[in-house]
Structure 1
Amino acid sequence: MRYVVLDTETTGLEVRQGHRIIEIGCIEVAGRQVTNKHFHEYVNPQRAVDEGAFQVHGISDEMLADKPVFSAIAERFLNFVRGSTLIIHNAAFDIGFLDGELDRLNLGKMADHVDGVIDSLTMAREMFPGKRNNLDALCDRLGVNNSHRQFHGALLDSQILAEVYLAMTRGQDSLVIDLSAGQGGATDATIELASLQLPEPEPGADELALHARYVQALDKEVKGACIWTTLTTTPLAVNDAA
């Protein structure tokens, strides 16, 4: 399955008040790896950016004056996301704005072009009930570095969200497959990964450093030594990862 992590920036909060998209950023994720394929465009909304929105993303009317309108980038955008499953934080907001743009061009809705949408905010609320679950809070909780994030930007936020989503789903240890059997509907089959002969590549120095930082974050979360630290037999390059 092909995933596309998507984020938008807009002129304001309410599509029903005529607010428009001014930036789209998309990152492809395949095989639980962020690929080098991405889509990024600034868009001339043909209206002013609200001051409150500008304070969030820092994108001014002057910056957008020479950018293409949405109709000029719509085909390339749809070609990039077509057939994928989208991963979006607070998906209703972005999908609402994208549907509004497509409707103006008689191009249907996003549901007509993609296989589905995963709302990472809904996932986070289920995993961490009662806690703050915006992107910054999840970065702190999951050990994802967002120190370079001064403003909200669609491509930057997509890159961060891709790391957050992979961290949130890292604990999967089996593959659940939906089997559409023609007699009696769909059933679930579970394949235990332990039963498969999978390759075991040796991690590189960068991967070991990332792992060490992640384990440090786990230790901090539990205010002590997490079970991984207790059971591991491989020394971690903690000092190198700091």
Structure 2
Amino acid sequence: MRQLILDTETTGLDPQQGHRLIEIGCIELIDRQVTGRNFHYYLQPDREIDAEAIAVHGITNEFLQDKPRFKEVVPELMEYLRGAELIIHNAPFDVGFIENELRLVEFPTTRLSEICSVTDTLVMARNMYPGQRNSLDALCKRYEIDNSDRHFHGALLDARILADVYLAMTGGQVSMVLETTLDSWGGGSAAGKGLSHLDLSQLRVVKANADELVAHEERLVAITKSAGKCLWVV
């Protein structure tokens, strides 16, 4: 399963008013694991950036003067996106800007839905937490994800944060590997040798209390609603 956590920065809020992409960043996940094969470009928009936008992302006109234009990176971008599931927070905004850029350069494919699927984490969050704040910052606070480095918005930085948020929203870690050191078990790795050699009578069992059991059940319901299934629900 190949998923791409995607975010963009722009010169303003509306491509219909001539605003353009100035940064695009993607984090690749394969089977919910970050691969390090990211996609990131700053782009020359051939227009001025609104002062309000600069206040949000800190990207200036001077910084972008020597950056490539969208038409120079679009073949690489489309090949990178092909066949993946895009994970985007407030997807209509980013998708609208990317598709506008595709139209401007007259790229053969102008709709992302023709090459990949899109999942909107803002829609997911609103379904999971109706009536609550569901901005990326609010979700970071809810899931206790550190975003203290986020002094400005940035496409790659926000994609990295969204990757943590998405994994937390959809159940966090999906496969657990029991691995212990030689010192902790007195010889050999439990992951490599199995558990038959361990004296299980020495293990302490900590049982969940009533509040923890209720929280666990609520979590399973939330995972089922967002992902369509939950491995722990029979």
Contact kept? 1:44, 1:68, Cα under 8 Å: yes
Query: Is the aligned partner of 1:201 residue 2:182?
Result: no
Show the counterpart of 1:177. none
By how many angstroms is 1:106 displaced?
2.0
The alpha-carbon deviation at position 202 of structure 1 amounts to: 2.6
Q: Deviations over 1:87-140 (max 9, x none)?
A: 0000000000000000112222212221x1000000000111111100000000
TM-score by length of 1: 0.72
Alignment of 1:1-242 (within 5 A): 1-107=1-107, 108-114=110-116, 116-170=117-171, 200-202=177-179, 227=212
Contact 1:25 1:40 in 2 (8 A): yes
Distance 2:50 2:59 in 1: 10
Shift of 1:171: 6.9
Alpha-carbon distance between aligned partners in 1 of 2:95 and 2:56, rounded to the nearest angstrom: 19
**Counterparts of 2:180 and 2:90 in 1: how far apart (Å)?**
34
Give the 3-state SS of the residue equivalent to 1:76 in structure 2.
Answer: helix
Separation in 1, partners of 2:34, 2:4: 10
Quote the Cα distance in structure 2 between the aligned partners of 1:62 and 1:151. Answer: 17
3-state SS in 1 of match to 2:36: strand
Q: Is the 8 A contact 1:103 1:109 kept in 2?
A: no
Distance in 2, Cα, partners of 1:171 & 1:69: 37
Q: Which moved more, 1:93-102 or 1:25-34?
A: 25-34
Name stretches of at least 5 consecutive residues in structure 1 with no aligned partner: 174-197, 205-223, 232-242
Q: Could you tell me how far apart the structure 2 residues matched to 1:35 and 1:17 are?
A: 37
Instruction: Report the Cα distance in structure 2 between the residues aligned to 1:162 and 1:199, rounded to whole angstroms.
Output: 19
Whether contact under 8 Å (2:122, 2:135) holds in the other structure is yes
Higher-Rg structure is 2
Stretches of structure 2 that go unaligned for 5 or more consecutive residues are 182-208, 217-234
Structure 1 residue identity aligned to 2:178: P
Q: For 2:124 and 2:172, how far apart are their aligned partners in 1? A: 14
Identity %: 52
Cα distance between partner residues in 2 of 1:203 and 1:58: 45
Deviations 1:181-203 (A, max 9, x none): xxxxxxxxxxxxxxxxx874337
SS in structure 2 of the partner of residue 64 of structure 1: coil
Distance, in Å, in 2 between the alignment partners of 1:34 and 1:4 is: 10
Contact 1:139/1:164, CA 8 A, preserved across alignment: yes
Is the Cα–Cα contact under 8 Å of residues 167 and 173 in structure 2 kept in the other structure? no
Distance 1:109 1:226, change over 3 A: same
Normalized per residue, which structure has more strand?
1
| 1:75 alignment partner AA | P
AA paired with 2:75? E
Aligned pair in 2 of structure 1 residues 41, 202: CA closer, same or farther (>3 Å)? same
CA RMSD of aligned residues (A): 2.4
Post-superposition Cα deviations, 1:131-166, rounded to whole Å, max 9, x if no partner, equal 110000000001111011110000000000000000
The letter for the 2-side match of 1:111 is: S
Q: What amino acid is the match of 2:150? A: R
Give the aligned partner of residue 186 of structure 1.
none
CA contact (8 A) 1:28 1:36 kept: yes
Name the CA distance, whole Å, in 1 between partners of 2:97 and 2:81: 16
Counterpart of 2:199? none
Paired positions, count? 186
